[in-house]
């Protein structure tokens, strides 16, 4: 099973890049499942039901989020209704939505997707490590292959999660920093790993935001209303080849296309 995981899709430029690149990549690599992080699709902050539907319409089988999951209030009622839209599984009990989903490919194979969020330089949540073990054990009673989106700031926390789940998760891939790392690897017990997939969105901004606004905020220390940058885009993703029967990753390949 070929799985394409797209990194944080940033605003309209990011959505347009997904619309352009996904059909090409699916045809070229015979991809079975596409998933992506959609917490920045609504003008850089959050996601709306309409934009989630737009991404599903572009072929995404599941959408992960993170700390920006709740930025748009209209998404709150949508989360419990749409199983394919995930928020981190380590939010406390009672928070709307789901942290994992099992999706089916056109060929009838199943793939689990589990979303977690780190705690280093991030909002305080339940322990992602304990939640990951518990959720993976539960999911793997039904499905062998599970991809984990570890939405986190700190490289070390993501790498620790990769090794903690090595041999249990099919892949642990990171999102949130918007900058792709070059450390893709198969860990010793068979889990595919990449610290951060990187952003799909404007290339010449500060992690997708208009550079002048971001620079001004750093210069003054004052709050600034951010807007998504424009211009050339970068499409960032990772391609996994997965043996869905045994849940093992066969290969991991980084994708970064300037467009």
Beta carbon nearer to Fe ion, 67 or 90 = 67
Closest distance of CB 227 from Fe ion, Å: 17
Closest distance of CB 189 from Fe ion, Å: 28
Closest distance of CB 246 from Fe ion, Å: 32
Total residues at the site for Fe ion (CB under 5 A)?
Answer: 3
Report the distance separating Cα 150 and Cα 128, nearest Å.
9
Question: Within a 10 A sphere around the Cβ of 129, how many other Cβ atoms?
Answer: 17
Work out whether 66 is an interface residue with Fe ion (CB under 5 A): yes
Per-residue tokens: 1: 């099973």
Work out whether 208 is an interface residue with Fe ion (CB under 5 A): no
Work out whether 158 is an interface residue with Fe ion (CB under 5 A): no
Closest distance of CB 122 from Fe ion, Å: 8
Beta carbon nearer to Fe ion, 103 or 150 = 150
Return the HEC string of 149-201.
EEECCCHHHHHHHHHHCECCECEEEEECCCCCCCCCEECCCCCEEECCCCCEE
Here's the x/- map for Fe ion, 10-49, by CB under 5 A: it reads as ----------------------------------------
Residues designated catalytic: 68
Question: Judged by CB under 5 A, which stretch of 71-79, 161-169, 174-182, 204-212 contacts Fe ion?
Answer: 174-182
Work out whether 176 is an interface residue with Fe ion (CB under 5 A): yes
Q: How many residues does this entry show for the chain?
A: 259
- What residues form DSSP beta bridges with 53? none
Q: What are phi and psi of 32, to 5 degrees?
A: -95, -35
Work out whether 67 is an interface residue with Fe ion (CB under 5 A): yes
The beta strand positions in 52-170, using DSSP E, are 60-64, 100-104, 110-117, 146-151
Question: Judged by CB under 5 A, which stretch of 133-141, 168-176, 193-201, 208-216 contacts Fe ion?
Answer: 168-176
Question: Within a 10 A sphere around the Cβ of 17, how many other Cβ atoms?
Answer: 25
Beta carbon nearer to Fe ion, 25 or 194 = 194
Beta carbon nearer to Fe ion, 25 or 86 = 86
The residues, ordered by sequence, that sit 6+ positions from 246 with a Cβ below 8 Å of its Cβ are 144
Q: What are phi and psi of 2, to 5 degrees?
A: -100, 130
Beta carbon nearer to Fe ion, 42 or 187 = 42
Closest distance of CB 141 from Fe ion, Å: 30
Work out whether 115 is an interface residue with Fe ion (CB under 5 A): no
Q: Which of 175, 148, 143, 176 is nearest to 163 (CA)?
A: 148
Binding site for Fe ion (CB under 5 A): 66-67, 176
């Amino acid at each position: 099973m070929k799985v394409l995981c797209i990194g944080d899709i940033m605003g309209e430029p990011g959505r347009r890049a997904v619309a352009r690149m996904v059909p090409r990549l699916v045809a070229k690599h015979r991809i079975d499942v596409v998933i992506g992080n959609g917490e920045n699709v609504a003008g850089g902050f959050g996601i709306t039901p309409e934009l989630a539907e737009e991404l599903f319409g572009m072929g995404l089988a599941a959408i992960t989020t993170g700390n920006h999951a709740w930025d748009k209030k209209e998404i709150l009622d949508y989360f419990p209704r749409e199983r394919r839209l995930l928020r981190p599984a380590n939010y406390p009990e009672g928070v709307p939505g789901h942290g994992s989903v099992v999706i089916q490919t056109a060929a009838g194979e199943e793939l689990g997707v589990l979303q977690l969020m780190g705690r280093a330089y991030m909002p305080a949540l339940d322990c992602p490590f304990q939640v990951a073990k518990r959720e993976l054990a539960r999911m793997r009673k039904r499905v062998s292959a599970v991809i984990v989106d570890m939405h986190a700031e700190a490289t070390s926390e993501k790498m620790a999660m990769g090794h903690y789940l090595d041999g249990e998760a099919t892949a642990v891939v990171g999102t949130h920093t918007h900058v792709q790392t070059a450390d893709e690897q198969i860990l010793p017990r068979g889990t595919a790993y990449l610290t951060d997939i990187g952003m799909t969105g404007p290339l010449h901004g500060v992690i997708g935001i208009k550079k002048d606004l971001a620079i001004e905020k750093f210069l003054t220390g004052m709050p600034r209303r951010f807007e998504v940058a424009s211009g050339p885009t970068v499409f960032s993703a990772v391609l996994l080849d997965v043996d869905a029967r045994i849940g093992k990753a066969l290969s991991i390949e980084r994708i970064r296309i300037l467009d």
